[in-house]
Amino acid sequence: MNKQLLKRRKLASSGLLIVLGLGTVMQSLEYTIGTASRMGPGYFPLSLGVLLLVFGVLIFVLPDDSQELALLGEPSDDTEEKSMSWGERVRPWIAIVASMLLFILVGKYGGLVPATFILILVAALGDKANSLKSSIFLAIGVTLAAVGLFHYGLQLQFPLFTWG
């Protein structure tokens, strides 16, 4: 990949993380933050927003190193990207945005378990390399981990199911 394309991607990805982080931090301030031992409803979103901001700034300020990309298995030229159709380039974006919107909707009316399952399933299907079967198994695994961590571990007040 050429350096100009890498710089644009770096700027876009860092900018997106910074904007999402700022939005999350600003929205979390509308809730009670609490303390680490007695977390309020705004504590977790505030923490995530700060992490998004930190990662966005790190991506922006760290120097580019094409040697690292070669070690990670990235193609050295942009022939792979040129061969991708418009639909193949947009599919992951649509899947990620749709999965987040579905998480909000299903979380409000269905609870943590169905919302997490649908979030991971739809997002995983955004990658054409994932099969439906592998996406379902991934969604089941992440849902179980989320229930264990958020419901039982952190005791967040997000009901597992709210049908009806």
Q: What is the pLDDT of residues 44-87, one digit of tens each?
A: 889 999 999 999 999 888 887 654 544 445 554 555 556 777 77
Closest CA to 105 of 35, 162, 21: 162
Supply the pLDDT for residue 75.
52
Assess whether pLDDT exceeds 50 at residue 141.
yes
Supply the pLDDT for residue 148.
92
| Cα 64 to chain centroid, rounded | 23
Closest CA to 13 of 63, 52, 69, 66: 52
Supply the pLDDT for residue 38.
85
Q: What is the pLDDT of residues 3-42, one digit of tens each?
A: 787 788 888 888 999 999 999 999 999 988 888 888 888 8
State whether residue 78 is helix, strand or coil.
Answer: coil
Closest CA to 157 of 38, 27, 29: 38
Is-contact 116 146, C-beta < 8 A? yes
Furthest CA-CA distance within the chain = 55
| Cα 90 to chain centroid, rounded | 16
Supply the pLDDT for residue 55.
92
* Stronger pLDDT, 86 or 153, i.e. the higher one: 153
DSSP string for 122-133: HHHTTSTTS-HH
Supply the pLDDT for residue 98.
93
**What does the pLDDT average to over 83-110?**
87
